Amino acid sequence: MSVEPPVFTVLDSGTSIDDQGTEMPTIVIDAADHPEVADLARVHAIDGIGDIATEGTLVEAGADAKAAGIHQVLVLAVQISVPVRCVFAVAIPLPQHRQVVDQAIVSKGLVIATTAPDRAALDRPLWLAIDLDPTHLASLLPPSPSGLS
């Protein structure tokens, strides 16, 4: 019996700054009910970065979502095979989070924050940074109004 991987909806997006001062496009998810995802950044910090693969799919939004201003959803599947096995997906509503997606394409990476950003300065949490295939992601999306992708 297989278990469906969790799908997280992006709660917020923006930019985080790493210890070297580099700005990284960042999305925020609530992984509180999925410790196997919430703990990934700590595991990678201890055991090494490991092997992460991503694949995106663009889905047209349903009528209710369109009424709320969501035109499409970029579903980013994340599969980790080393040092632990974990699969999950992130649903990124567009156009609401298009700017961070465009920044992720340019930077070839994305930070997934699994804790509330307003606690970051105090708690100094570990967040999961993943590499992305910018050509694949850009090919999924219509031209960007910002001209980045």
Domain locations along the chain? 7-121+131-140
Nearest to 74 by CA among 89, 55, 61, 93: 93
Beta strands in the chain (DSSP E): 7-9, 12-17, 23-28, 51-60, 72-82, 86-94, 109-113, 128-131
In the predicted structure, residue 18 carries a pLDDT above the cut 70 = yes
According to the model, what pLDDT value does residue 115 have? 74
pLDDT for position 91: 97
* pLDDT one-digit tens code per residue, 22-73: 899 999 998 889 988 988 888 877 776 778 889 999 999 999 999 999 999 9
pLDDT band at residue 77 under the 50/70/90 scheme? very high
- Choice between 5 and 3, residue whose per-residue pLDDT is larger: 5
Least confident of 28-37, 69-78, 98-107, 137-146: 137-146
Q: Per-residue pLDDT for 6 more than 60?
A: yes
Residue 148: pLDDT above 80?
Answer: no
Q: Return the percentage of the chain with pLDDT > 70, whole number.
A: 87
The predicted pLDDT at position 100 comes to: 97
Q: Tell me the three state secondary structure of residue 42.
A: helix
Measured in Å, how far apart are the chain's first and last C-alpha atoms? 40
Look at residue 122 in the predicted model and tell me its pLDDT.
Answer: 65
